[in-house]
Amino acid sequence: MLNNSNFPWQDTQQEEDARKGLLGPLVNDGKVTGDKGQTIWDTSRFDKMLALEKAPSTVNPSLWRMSKLVNLSGVFKVTDGLYQVRNQDLSNMTIIEAPDGLVIADPLISAETAKNALESYFQYRPRKPVVAVIYSHSHVDHFGGVRGIVEAKDVEAGKVRIYAPEGFMEHAIAENLYAGTAMSRRATYMYGNLLPQSPEGQVGAGLGMTTSSGTVTLIAPTDLIKEKWETHTVGGMEMEFMLTPGSEAPAEMHWYMPALKTVSTAENATHNFHNLYTPRGAKTRDARLWPMYMNQTIQR
């Protein structure tokens, strides 16, 4: 166990930040089941355990604190025109209210959780069509639920555009198809998603609580970002994209929305120390390029 006695536990700013902008709970409190009644997502299993005030002796106090923060579920307003659905999967879904309709970034792992996330958003905001999807990078928790929010026929008909960084399909297929069986088995050990939710079992996955177990889907991008900097009109909103290959994912990108004065750095900036090499066997992240991209984004 690490010596945590010198950590500033009295600083509650992150707790306040994590609750800021909450509009309300998820549909059915975020509980999602499959066609056969199997549980796909249910973070209430962590609630009783995380209600304990202090970390038990079996859990690092920093992981305990992080799990209490990321277990906060709901639909959140980030700023005017920008919303997030949090703790409906390992990742969060971002919804941008563009002039022509909704632009959805990173539609989770499973179609079932993504569908529930979008319905949760509609509980608090006007029901508008999805006109574009953004895959920030090539990891499955940022594209696997796409068919839960849009239909392939609408993409084929040009009603919905899908934006992704160059190399997205190559790396998404390599990790989830070619190496899929080995990676999924290793991920079970990495995330502990088959362990009981207890102080002696699974207490969270750091970045999120755990991984959903629904239907993983994919629709190929219609628009690939190929240049270091590219500006596109997405759903009637100007967005400036920046490629960051070899950072947190082999194919990844940031984007800036001038109208909202908001930048997304995908998973290149999170409130934890990301792996440079994952136990599940993803490609090693470049510890030189990663901070370089962040500095370039700040300078830009």
Q: Is residue 50 part of a domain?
A: yes
Task: For residue 9, tell me if it sits in a domain.
Answer: no
Give tens-digit pLDDT for 87-126.
999 999 999 999 999 999 999 999 999 999 999 999 999 9
How confident is the model at residue 154, as a pLDDT?
98
With respect to residue 200, please indicate whether it lies within any of the assigned structural domains: yes
pLDDT for the residue 225: 98
The answer to the question of residue 113 being in a domain is: yes
Bigger pLDDT: 205 vs 132: 132
Q: What is the pLDDT of residues 7-36, one digit of tens each?
A: 788 888 999 999 999 999 999 999 999 999
What is the pLDDT, as a whole number, of residue 183?
76
> What amino acid occupies position 269?
A
Give the pLDDT confidence score for residue 179 in this predicted structure.
Answer: 67
Alpha-carbon distances, residue 198 vs 39, 44, 52, 89 (angstroms): 18, 12, 11, 19
Q: Residue 144 is encoded by which pair of tokens?
A: 């696997």
Residue 3's pLDDT band (cuts 50, 70, 90): low
pLDDT in tens, 176-211: 666 678 877 888 888 888 889 999 999 998 889 999
Residue 26 has a pLDDT of: 98
CATH of the domain at 45: 3.60.15.30
For the chain, give the mean pLDDT.
93
- Rounded CA-CA distance 163/146 in Å is 12
Residue 122 maps to a domain: yes
The answer to the question of residue 160 being in a domain is: yes
Looking at residues 133-140, what average pLDDT do you find?
96
How many domains are there within the chain? Answer: 1
Encode pLDDT of 213-255 as tens digits.
999 999 999 999 999 999 999 999 999 999 999 999 999 999 9
pLDDT digits (tens, 9 = 90+) for 37-92: 999 999 999 999 999 888 999 999 988 999 999 999 999 999 999 999 999 999 99
Domain annotation covers residue 92: yes
Structural domain boundaries enclosing 170 = 19-231
What's the whole-model pTM score? 0.93
Predicted pLDDT at 187? 81
- Choice between 82 and 3, residue whose per-residue pLDDT is larger: 82
Whether 1 shows a pLDDT value over 60: the answer reads no
pLDDT the model gives residue 206 = 85
The predicted structure's pLDDT at residue 277: 85
| Residue 295 counted as domain residue | no
